[in-house]
Amino acid sequence: MKMQLAEIARVVQAKNDVTPWATQEIASVSFDSRTLTPGALFVPLVAAQDGHRFIESARQHGATATFWQAGHSDEPTDFPVLEVDDPLTALQQLARYYLLKVDPRVVAITGSDGKTTTKDMTAAILKKRFNVHKTQGNFNNEIGVPMTILSMETNTEVLVVEMGMDRPGQLDFLSQMVAPDVAVITMIGEAHIEFFGTRAKIADAKLEITHGLKDDGFFIYEGDEPLLHERAEQVHQQQRTFGQSETCELYPIMIESTANETRFRLNKYPDLTFSLPLLGSYNVNNAMAAIQVGALLRIKPAEMQAALAHFDLTRNRTQWVSGANGVNILSDVYNANPTAMRAVLRAFQAVPTQGRRIAVLGDMLELGDQAATLHASVAEAVDPTQLDEVYLYGDLMQALATALKAKPDYAAHVHYFPTAEKEQLSQALLADVQTGDAVLLKASNGMHLDTILRQLKD
């Protein structure tokens, strides 16, 4: 972005006179004083810590100006300041203005699982024809979406924005902010069920992504999900579906999966074999969602095929990593819910390996009163003939440990460690793994299995 301070002041309705700095040029925006670059506008958010406390750090790292909450103490007098009622609201106002100014087509993507992978696939496909900007990392909430918008180049033609949610109304707000041309829901699972109570209420909240959808826009969703199929009747915009059944507009007619690749053909393109550099047939649904977006924006099938074969995947999403002593690690440590964990387990158990298959599973968070039942439900995906050892970590995983130990002759292969015993888990696992073993790591991000990943790699 490139904007003068006077223009920003007008957009956010700054309460103070910025005339002395009116022509000061802003090239970027950040709320983290450590990531600022020269020419940046600092946004002091008030959350767990008060961002106003870091104004000196922001200045030292190159901040050119700052928002400042009106009435907040210690306002700088020797530095360009824009007084606003709330820095976060000002950030969102500025993002909406900049989005309208650049005016790209907007693809908004949400879902209980698969939204990050689908975002990466969609961006790769659209880059075959357009200048594309996409959400980086997990910048998918009320702070992250504005930051995604403000970080795009002025020549951006398509913005692919990921949207997360953990409460009703959140996607409504984000959708109204970006006014998507295309809204995508990958699937409805149990993620955040602690806050919603039922999958039906999760579906209601996910459908909010259509609230800001342009009248001539498109709604793309998993057609095999009855909860979405029912709610799609509320959406007046044009619709496209994908899924595994022939009742969907786009469905696979062939799927083959190996440890490092998933190949598939689709009913609409029967003579074209698509390839994903990913384990797991469940990723075909994510690819079909991305292909539906590509088709709407007139990307040629062969171009979509080429894009998917080599797309860049956000880190820690079902990635194979080489460990020490020839151990093969399937890292999926960023997020977890029961549906995703079962799918990854089934795919992992089908992977050929010279050694053993070992799964390290951590707690799935935000499942509320249903946590024990949902953790235990993962047992149905465990095949004792294909999974040699299971390491379970976290207090909630005790329910799965109990369910697995009930499998005939399998109790000795189940190793349970409460949350307080992470070091014991590390020691036991590192002493067990051998050359040629395949190890799956899967848990919610809050369980920090990335530390186990680093130890296996060293």
Binding residues: 111-117
φ, ψ (nearest 5 deg) of residue 329: -115, 125
Judging by DSSP bridges, how do beta strands 357-362 and 438-442 pair with one another? parallel
Residues 6+ apart with CB under 8 A from 37: 27, 28, 30, 61, 62
CA 38 to chain centre: 29
Contact 255, 288 (CB under 8 A): no
Binding-site positions for ATP read: 111-117
